[in-house]
Amino acid sequence: MPIYSEKVMDHFTNPRNVGEIDDPDGVGEEGNPVCGDMMTFYIKVKDNHLEDVKFKTFGCGAAIAVSSMVSEMAKGKTLEEAMKITPKSVAEELEGLPKNKFHCSNLGAQALNKAIKDYLSKKKGGGKKVMTEQEGEKKHISCPYCDQEIMKADFPYCQACQLTVFYCPKCRKPLPRENGVCPHCGAVMKSEASKGGE
């Protein structure tokens, strides 16, 4: 059983900055196809600083604690400073994470980074929100087991067949978890992912 630091337990039981931002300047989503953790970060930017940072996380206690800590570390920082937040620095701020939970700090830093990149890409495009094909796929995912549509609120579970949906870490498309190779992009899944589907 993982042993968590007092800081991890504090951020898990009393998470900071939970929720969504109305009309966010940037949104970033990251997930782990093996454990099912999903993190979504929302940011508001003013004068090149992160004026507000909020998150919604579906996952274990470590994932929630990491999301809370990342939001605290990022709030008030310049975009450049926030993009330098690393999985290692998040884990250090939390006074350590068990080895089997360290991937959670990767997700938090990556989701924040994606939110900032989303803001920068919209800013470059004149501030208009243009939904990419990839974003559209995320909002309307079909279950690879039964082909029923999965609502974003239910992800990563399919309500129709009651199974957990896995997706390729490279192309982000859903795939049956027993697949050793992604049928969409040909990426080879890690052995751990293959074992998880046994």
Euclidean distance between CA atoms 39 and 56, whole angstroms: 6
Active site residue 35: yes
Give the number of C-alpha atoms closer than 13 A to the C-alpha of residue 33, restricted to the C-beta side. Answer: 25
Euclidean distance between CA atoms 22 and 24, whole angstroms: 6
Kindly tell me the burial class for residue 96, based on how many C-beta atoms sit within 10 Å of its own C-beta (0-12, 13-18, 19 or more). middle
DSSP state string for 17-29: SBS--SS-SEEEE
Active site residue 104: yes
Number of domains in the chain: 2
Is residue 1 situated within a structural domain?
no
Q: Which residue has the tokens 């074992």?
A: 195
Q: Could you list the pLDDT tens digit for every one of the 198 residues in the chain?
A: 457 788 889 998 999 999 999 999 999 998 876 667 889 999 999 999 999 999 998 888 888 999 999 999 999 999 999 999 988 888 888 888 777 777 676 788 889 999 999 999 888 765 444 444 344 444 456 666 666 676 666 666 667 666 666 667 676 666 655 556 776 677 776 543 434 444
Residues 100 and 164 placed together within one structural domain of the fold: no
Whole domain around residue 74: which residue ranges?
6-124
